[in-house]
Amino acid sequence: MKERLNSTLKMFKDEIEHVKDINAAEELRIKFLGKKGIMTDIMKGMGKLSKEEKPEIGKIANEVRSEIEQGLEIIKQKAKQEMLELRLKSEKIDVTMPAVDVEIGHKHPLYLVLDEIKDIFIGMGYKIEEGPEVESVYHNFDALNAPKDHPSRSMSDTFYIMEDMILRTQTSPVQVRTMKSKKPPIRIIAPGRCFRNDELDSTHSPMFHQIEGLVVDKDITMADLKGTLDAFAKQIFGANTKTKFRPHYFPFTEPSAEVDVSCFKCNGGGCRFCKGSGWIEILGCGMVHPNVLKECGIDPEEYSGFAFGMGLDRITMLKYEIDDIRHFFENDMRFIKQF
Ligand code: 2NL
Protein backbone atom coordinates (compact mmCIF):
# COMPACT_ATOMS: atom_id res chain seq x y z
CA MET A 1 0.00 0.00 0.00
CA LYS A 2 2.91 2.26 0.82
CA GLU A 3 4.22 1.55 -2.67
CA ARG A 4 0.92 2.44 -4.22
CA LEU A 5 0.72 5.74 -2.30
CA ASN A 6 4.23 6.72 -3.39
CA SER A 7 3.64 5.83 -7.03
CA THR A 8 0.34 7.76 -6.94
CA LEU A 9 2.18 10.87 -5.69
CA LYS A 10 4.81 10.42 -8.43
CA MET A 11 2.08 10.01 -11.05
CA PHE A 12 0.39 13.19 -9.79
CA LYS A 13 3.68 15.13 -9.93
CA ASP A 14 4.26 13.98 -13.53
CA GLU A 15 0.77 14.85 -14.65
CA ILE A 16 0.58 18.26 -12.98
CA GLU A 17 3.61 19.34 -15.02
CA HIS A 18 1.35 19.40 -18.10
CA VAL A 19 -1.55 21.23 -16.49
CA LYS A 20 -2.01 24.67 -18.07
CA ASP A 21 -5.40 25.97 -16.91
CA ILE A 22 -8.05 25.82 -14.22
CA ASN A 23 -10.21 23.28 -16.09
CA ALA A 24 -7.31 20.80 -16.44
CA ALA A 25 -6.46 21.28 -12.73
CA GLU A 26 -10.07 20.47 -11.79
CA GLU A 27 -9.96 17.31 -13.93
CA LEU A 28 -6.80 16.25 -12.13
CA ARG A 29 -8.43 16.89 -8.72
CA ILE A 30 -11.34 14.64 -9.65
CA LYS A 31 -8.97 11.95 -10.90
CA PHE A 32 -6.90 11.87 -7.68
CA LEU A 33 -9.13 13.21 -4.89
CA GLY A 34 -12.69 12.72 -6.23
CA LYS A 35 -15.26 10.28 -4.76
CA LYS A 36 -14.32 7.73 -7.42
CA GLY A 37 -10.70 8.90 -7.54
CA ILE A 38 -7.43 7.03 -6.97
CA MET A 39 -6.99 8.14 -3.33
CA THR A 40 -10.49 7.01 -2.35
CA ASP A 41 -9.77 3.68 -3.97
CA ILE A 42 -6.51 3.27 -2.00
CA MET A 43 -8.17 4.22 1.29
CA LYS A 44 -10.71 1.43 0.81
CA GLY A 45 -7.81 -0.97 1.47
CA MET A 46 -7.11 0.55 4.92
CA GLY A 47 -9.51 -1.85 6.63
CA LYS A 48 -7.38 -4.82 5.72
CA LEU A 49 -4.23 -3.44 7.40
CA SER A 50 -2.94 -4.65 10.76
CA LYS A 51 -3.16 -2.51 13.90
CA GLU A 52 0.53 -1.64 13.65
CA GLU A 53 0.48 -0.73 9.98
CA LYS A 54 -2.64 1.48 10.14
CA PRO A 55 -1.14 4.62 11.80
CA GLU A 56 1.96 4.54 9.59
CA ILE A 57 0.07 4.11 6.31
CA GLY A 58 -2.60 6.58 7.47
CA LYS A 59 0.11 9.19 8.07
CA ILE A 60 1.64 8.64 4.64
CA ALA A 61 -1.82 8.76 3.01
CA ASN A 62 -2.55 12.08 4.72
CA GLU A 63 0.79 13.48 3.56
CA VAL A 64 0.18 12.36 -0.03
CA ARG A 65 -3.33 13.83 0.02
CA SER A 66 -2.12 17.16 1.37
CA GLU A 67 0.74 17.30 -1.16
CA ILE A 68 -1.75 16.72 -3.99
CA GLU A 69 -4.04 19.42 -2.54
CA GLN A 70 -1.17 21.89 -2.28
CA GLY A 71 0.02 21.11 -5.81
CA LEU A 72 -3.48 21.75 -7.17
CA GLU A 73 -3.86 24.96 -5.13
CA ILE A 74 -0.59 26.36 -6.52
CA ILE A 75 -1.64 25.57 -10.09
CA LYS A 76 -5.09 27.17 -9.57
CA GLN A 77 -3.58 30.35 -8.10
CA LYS A 78 -1.12 30.56 -10.99
CA ALA A 79 -3.91 30.18 -13.57
CA LYS A 80 -6.00 32.84 -11.79
CA GLN A 81 -3.08 35.25 -11.79
CA GLU A 82 -2.47 34.65 -15.50
CA MET A 83 -6.13 35.31 -16.30
CA LEU A 84 -6.06 38.55 -14.30
CA GLU A 85 -2.92 39.71 -16.10
CA LEU A 86 -4.51 38.94 -19.47
CA ARG A 87 -7.62 40.90 -18.52
CA LEU A 88 -5.64 43.90 -17.27
CA LYS A 89 -3.66 43.89 -20.49
CA SER A 90 -6.75 43.78 -22.72
CA GLU A 91 -8.62 46.43 -20.72
CA LYS A 92 -5.72 48.83 -20.49
CA ILE A 93 -6.69 52.43 -21.44
CA ASP A 94 -4.13 54.77 -22.91
CA VAL A 95 -5.14 58.08 -21.35
CA THR A 96 -2.68 59.94 -23.58
CA MET A 97 -4.47 58.80 -26.77
CA PRO A 98 -6.02 61.70 -28.77
CA ALA A 99 -9.81 61.93 -28.23
CA VAL A 100 -12.30 61.05 -30.97
CA ASP A 101 -13.70 64.29 -32.47
CA VAL A 102 -17.35 64.80 -31.52
CA GLU A 103 -19.19 67.06 -33.96
CA ILE A 104 -21.28 69.50 -31.94
CA GLY A 105 -24.57 70.69 -33.41
CA HIS A 106 -25.17 74.30 -34.35
CA LYS A 107 -28.35 76.33 -34.57
CA HIS A 108 -29.46 76.77 -38.19
CA PRO A 109 -29.22 80.42 -39.40
CA LEU A 110 -32.97 80.47 -40.14
CA TYR A 111 -33.61 79.56 -36.51
CA LEU A 112 -31.16 82.16 -35.22
CA VAL A 113 -33.16 84.87 -37.01
CA LEU A 114 -36.53 83.26 -36.18
CA ASP A 115 -35.62 83.26 -32.47
CA GLU A 116 -34.62 86.92 -32.71
CA ILE A 117 -37.94 87.84 -34.39
CA LYS A 118 -39.96 85.76 -31.91
CA ASP A 119 -38.22 87.50 -28.99
CA ILE A 120 -39.04 90.96 -30.40
CA PHE A 121 -42.76 90.17 -30.74
CA ILE A 122 -42.93 88.29 -27.43
CA GLY A 123 -41.49 91.49 -25.95
CA MET A 124 -44.51 93.36 -27.40
CA GLY A 125 -46.96 90.88 -25.83
CA TYR A 126 -47.52 88.52 -28.76
CA LYS A 127 -48.08 84.75 -28.49
CA ILE A 128 -46.64 82.19 -30.92
CA GLU A 129 -49.18 80.05 -32.80
CA GLU A 130 -48.52 77.08 -35.07
CA GLY A 131 -50.74 75.02 -37.35
CA PRO A 132 -50.80 72.22 -39.94
CA GLU A 133 -48.65 72.33 -43.09
CA VAL A 134 -51.29 70.29 -44.96
CA GLU A 135 -54.30 72.59 -45.05
CA SER A 136 -57.77 72.81 -46.51
CA VAL A 137 -58.40 75.09 -49.49
CA TYR A 138 -60.95 76.79 -47.24
CA HIS A 139 -58.44 77.86 -44.53
CA ASN A 140 -55.70 78.77 -47.03
CA PHE A 141 -57.81 80.65 -49.64
CA ASP A 142 -61.59 80.91 -49.15
CA ALA A 143 -61.54 82.27 -45.58
CA LEU A 144 -58.93 84.82 -46.68
CA ASN A 145 -61.16 86.48 -49.26
CA ALA A 146 -59.11 85.06 -52.15
CA PRO A 147 -61.12 85.23 -55.41
CA LYS A 148 -62.29 81.80 -56.65
CA ASP A 149 -60.38 82.35 -59.91
CA HIS A 150 -57.19 83.72 -58.33
CA PRO A 151 -54.14 82.31 -60.20
CA SER A 152 -52.36 81.43 -56.89
CA ARG A 153 -55.00 78.67 -56.40
CA SER A 154 -53.98 76.88 -59.59
CA MET A 155 -52.23 73.50 -59.68
CA SER A 156 -49.20 75.19 -61.21
CA ASP A 157 -48.79 77.48 -58.16
CA THR A 158 -50.07 75.33 -55.29
CA PHE A 159 -49.27 71.73 -54.33
CA TYR A 160 -52.55 69.81 -54.18
CA ILE A 161 -52.73 66.69 -51.97
CA MET A 162 -56.40 66.14 -52.78
CA GLU A 163 -59.12 68.27 -54.38
CA ASP A 164 -59.62 70.13 -51.10
CA MET A 165 -56.25 69.56 -49.38
CA ILE A 166 -53.06 71.45 -50.18
CA LEU A 167 -49.65 72.28 -48.74
CA ARG A 168 -50.26 75.76 -47.26
CA THR A 169 -48.91 78.59 -49.40
CA GLN A 170 -48.67 80.98 -46.43
CA THR A 171 -49.12 80.73 -42.65
CA SER A 172 -52.35 82.82 -42.71
CA PRO A 173 -54.50 79.70 -42.16
CA VAL A 174 -52.97 79.52 -38.67
CA GLN A 175 -54.36 83.00 -37.97
CA VAL A 176 -57.73 82.05 -39.47
CA ARG A 177 -57.87 79.08 -37.07
CA THR A 178 -56.88 81.32 -34.14
CA MET A 179 -59.58 83.92 -34.91
CA LYS A 180 -62.17 81.13 -35.14
CA SER A 181 -61.17 79.52 -31.84
CA LYS A 182 -60.27 82.53 -29.67
CA LYS A 183 -61.94 85.80 -28.80
CA PRO A 184 -60.19 89.18 -29.29
CA PRO A 185 -57.93 90.68 -28.10
CA ILE A 186 -55.65 88.57 -30.33
CA ARG A 187 -51.94 89.26 -30.67
CA ILE A 188 -50.05 86.44 -32.37
CA ILE A 189 -47.25 85.59 -34.73
CA ALA A 190 -47.39 82.42 -36.83
CA PRO A 191 -44.04 81.18 -38.13
CA GLY A 192 -43.69 78.08 -40.27
CA ARG A 193 -42.95 76.26 -43.52
CA CYS A 194 -44.88 77.20 -46.64
CA PHE A 195 -44.94 75.66 -50.10
CA ARG A 196 -45.35 77.02 -53.62
CA ASN A 197 -45.04 75.13 -56.88
CA ASP A 198 -43.74 77.87 -59.14
CA GLU A 199 -40.36 78.81 -57.76
CA LEU A 200 -36.84 77.37 -57.89
CA ASP A 201 -33.69 79.48 -58.20
CA SER A 202 -31.16 81.23 -55.96
CA THR A 203 -33.88 83.33 -54.30
CA HIS A 204 -36.89 80.99 -54.59
CA SER A 205 -37.48 77.54 -53.16
CA PRO A 206 -40.69 75.45 -53.36
CA MET A 207 -40.40 75.13 -49.57
CA PHE A 208 -39.74 78.35 -47.67
CA HIS A 209 -40.52 79.98 -44.32
CA GLN A 210 -42.95 82.71 -43.46
CA ILE A 211 -43.69 84.65 -40.33
CA GLU A 212 -47.12 86.25 -40.19
CA GLY A 213 -48.51 88.47 -37.49
CA LEU A 214 -52.06 89.32 -36.52
CA VAL A 215 -53.60 91.77 -34.06
CA VAL A 216 -57.37 92.02 -33.53
CA ASP A 217 -58.90 94.26 -30.88
CA LYS A 218 -61.20 97.24 -30.49
CA ASP A 219 -59.95 100.47 -32.15
CA ILE A 220 -56.90 98.97 -33.91
CA THR A 221 -55.80 101.41 -36.63
CA MET A 222 -53.24 101.77 -39.40
CA ALA A 223 -51.22 103.87 -36.90
CA ASP A 224 -50.87 100.80 -34.64
CA LEU A 225 -49.67 98.79 -37.64
CA LYS A 226 -47.11 101.42 -38.63
CA GLY A 227 -45.85 101.90 -35.06
CA THR A 228 -45.53 98.16 -34.48
CA LEU A 229 -43.63 97.43 -37.70
CA ASP A 230 -41.40 100.48 -37.26
CA ALA A 231 -40.48 99.31 -33.72
CA PHE A 232 -39.84 95.81 -35.08
CA ALA A 233 -37.58 97.11 -37.89
CA LYS A 234 -35.52 99.21 -35.46
CA GLN A 235 -35.00 96.21 -33.15
CA ILE A 236 -33.98 93.73 -35.82
CA PHE A 237 -32.04 95.95 -38.25
CA GLY A 238 -30.71 98.66 -35.88
CA ALA A 239 -32.01 101.76 -34.09
CA ASN A 240 -31.29 104.06 -37.07
CA THR A 241 -33.54 102.07 -39.42
CA LYS A 242 -36.29 104.05 -41.20
CA THR A 243 -39.46 102.45 -42.60
CA LYS A 244 -41.46 103.37 -45.70
CA PHE A 245 -45.03 102.16 -46.35
CA ARG A 246 -45.97 101.85 -50.05
CA PRO A 247 -49.59 101.21 -51.08
CA HIS A 248 -50.15 97.66 -52.35
CA TYR A 249 -52.92 95.13 -52.89
CA PHE A 250 -53.69 91.87 -51.02
CA PRO A 251 -57.16 90.27 -51.12
CA PHE A 252 -57.11 89.69 -47.32
CA THR A 253 -56.25 93.25 -46.22
CA GLU A 254 -57.67 96.69 -47.02
CA PRO A 255 -55.85 99.01 -47.17
CA SER A 256 -52.66 97.06 -47.90
CA ALA A 257 -49.02 98.11 -48.01
CA GLU A 258 -45.52 96.87 -48.63
CA VAL A 259 -42.84 97.98 -46.20
CA ASP A 260 -39.30 98.97 -47.11
CA VAL A 261 -36.55 99.58 -44.56
CA SER A 262 -33.59 101.90 -45.10
CA CYS A 263 -30.70 99.70 -46.20
CA PHE A 264 -28.98 98.34 -43.06
CA LYS A 265 -25.84 97.53 -45.08
CA CYS A 266 -25.12 101.02 -46.46
CA ASN A 267 -27.39 103.14 -44.22
CA GLY A 268 -29.39 104.24 -47.26
CA GLY A 269 -26.48 105.42 -49.40
CA GLY A 270 -26.92 102.69 -52.01
CA CYS A 271 -25.11 99.35 -52.34
CA ARG A 272 -25.47 95.93 -53.99
CA PHE A 273 -27.93 94.71 -51.29
CA CYS A 274 -30.42 97.53 -51.91
CA LYS A 275 -29.52 97.60 -55.62
CA GLY A 276 -28.42 101.21 -55.23
CA SER A 277 -31.83 102.42 -54.04
CA GLY A 278 -31.06 102.75 -50.34
CA TRP A 279 -34.25 100.76 -49.47
CA ILE A 280 -34.94 97.05 -48.97
CA GLU A 281 -38.43 95.53 -49.14
CA ILE A 282 -39.02 93.27 -46.12
CA LEU A 283 -42.75 92.61 -45.71
CA GLY A 284 -46.36 93.02 -46.74
CA CYS A 285 -49.15 94.15 -44.43
CA GLY A 286 -52.52 95.80 -44.08
CA MET A 287 -55.74 96.19 -42.11
CA VAL A 288 -57.60 92.84 -41.97
CA HIS A 289 -60.37 92.86 -44.59
CA PRO A 290 -63.87 93.00 -43.01
CA ASN A 291 -64.83 89.90 -45.06
CA VAL A 292 -62.03 87.94 -43.37
CA LEU A 293 -63.06 89.05 -39.86
CA LYS A 294 -66.71 88.16 -40.65
CA GLU A 295 -65.77 84.73 -42.04
CA CYS A 296 -63.83 84.02 -38.83
CA GLY A 297 -66.76 84.95 -36.59
CA ILE A 298 -65.55 88.42 -35.56
CA ASP A 299 -67.86 91.42 -35.97
CA PRO A 300 -66.04 94.03 -38.12
CA GLU A 301 -68.28 96.76 -36.65
CA GLU A 302 -66.94 96.02 -33.17
CA TYR A 303 -63.37 94.93 -33.91
CA SER A 304 -60.60 95.82 -36.33
CA GLY A 305 -57.15 94.38 -36.88
CA PHE A 306 -53.92 94.46 -38.76
CA ALA A 307 -51.83 91.66 -40.26
CA PHE A 308 -48.43 91.32 -41.83
CA GLY A 309 -46.32 88.64 -43.47
CA MET A 310 -42.60 88.36 -44.12
CA GLY A 311 -40.24 85.82 -45.65
CA LEU A 312 -37.85 84.43 -43.05
CA ASP A 313 -35.50 83.04 -45.71
CA ARG A 314 -35.18 86.42 -47.43
CA ILE A 315 -34.54 88.34 -44.18
CA THR A 316 -31.93 85.78 -43.06
CA MET A 317 -30.22 85.97 -46.47
CA LEU A 318 -30.02 89.76 -46.23
CA LYS A 319 -28.84 89.76 -42.62
CA TYR A 320 -26.06 87.20 -43.16
CA GLU A 321 -25.29 88.05 -46.82
CA ILE A 322 -26.21 84.55 -48.03
CA ASP A 323 -26.45 84.52 -51.83
CA ASP A 324 -28.43 81.31 -52.46
CA ILE A 325 -31.57 80.12 -50.62
CA ARG A 326 -30.66 76.50 -51.43
CA HIS A 327 -27.78 76.65 -48.90
CA PHE A 328 -30.45 76.61 -46.15
CA PHE A 329 -31.78 73.22 -47.15
CA GLU A 330 -28.59 71.27 -47.92
CA ASN A 331 -27.65 70.83 -44.22
CA ASP A 332 -23.95 71.09 -44.93
CA MET A 333 -22.32 71.66 -41.52
CA ARG A 334 -19.59 73.76 -43.16
CA PHE A 335 -22.34 76.24 -44.12
CA ILE A 336 -24.45 76.03 -40.96
CA LYS A 337 -21.47 76.49 -38.61
CA GLN A 338 -20.57 79.90 -40.07
CA PHE A 339 -23.34 81.82 -38.31
C1 2NL B 1 -46.26 88.99 -47.83
C2 2NL B 1 -47.59 89.44 -47.45
C3 2NL B 1 -49.24 89.30 -45.80
C4 2NL B 1 -51.12 88.92 -44.39
C5 2NL B 1 -49.97 88.48 -44.97
C6 2NL B 1 -53.12 88.08 -43.22
C7 2NL B 1 -53.63 87.06 -42.47
C8 2NL B 1 -54.94 87.10 -42.08
C9 2NL B 1 -55.72 88.14 -42.45
C10 2NL B 1 -55.17 89.13 -43.19
CL11 2NL B 1 -55.61 85.84 -41.20
N12 2NL B 1 -53.89 89.09 -43.56
N13 2NL B 1 -51.82 88.04 -43.60
C14 2NL B 1 -51.55 90.21 -44.61
C15 2NL B 1 -50.81 91.03 -45.44
C16 2NL B 1 -49.66 90.59 -46.04
O17 2NL B 1 -48.11 88.79 -46.35
O18 2NL B 1 -45.66 89.57 -48.69
N19 2NL B 1 -45.75 87.93 -47.21
C20 2NL B 1 -44.48 87.44 -47.49
What's the pLDDT score for residue 73? 87
Distance of CA 283 from the midpoint of ligand 1 (Å): 9
Least confident interval from 53-57, 137-141, 329-333? 53-57
pLDDT, tens only, 38-80? 888 888 888 888 888 888 888 888 888 888 889 888 888 888 8
What's the pLDDT score for residue 22? 83
Q: What is the mean pLDDT of residues 234-253?
A: 96
Question: Contact 311/110 with Cβ under 8 angstroms?
Answer: no
Question: Contact 226/195 with Cβ under 8 angstroms?
Answer: no
Ligand 1: list residues with CB < 6 Å: 172, 175-176, 210, 212, 214, 250, 252-253, 284-286, 288, 292, 307-311
Task: Please report the atom of ligand 1 found closest to the CA of residue 296.
Answer: 11
* Average pLDDT of every residue of the chain: 92
Question: pTM here?
Answer: 0.73
How far is the C-alpha of 126 from the C-alpha of 113, rounded, in Å? 17
Task: Please report the atom of ligand 1 found closest to the CA of residue 176.
Answer: 11
Distance of CA 151 from the midpoint of ligand 1 (Å): 17
What's the pLDDT score for residue 28? 85
Q: Please report the sign of the dihedral spanned by the C-alpha atoms of residue 168, residue 132, residue 117, residue 182.
A: positive
pLDDT, tens only, 111-129? 999 999 999 999 999 999 9
Q: At what angle do helices 2-16 and 22-33 cross, to 10 degrees?
A: 170
Query: Pick from 184, 254, 255: which is nearest to 219 by CA?
Result: 184
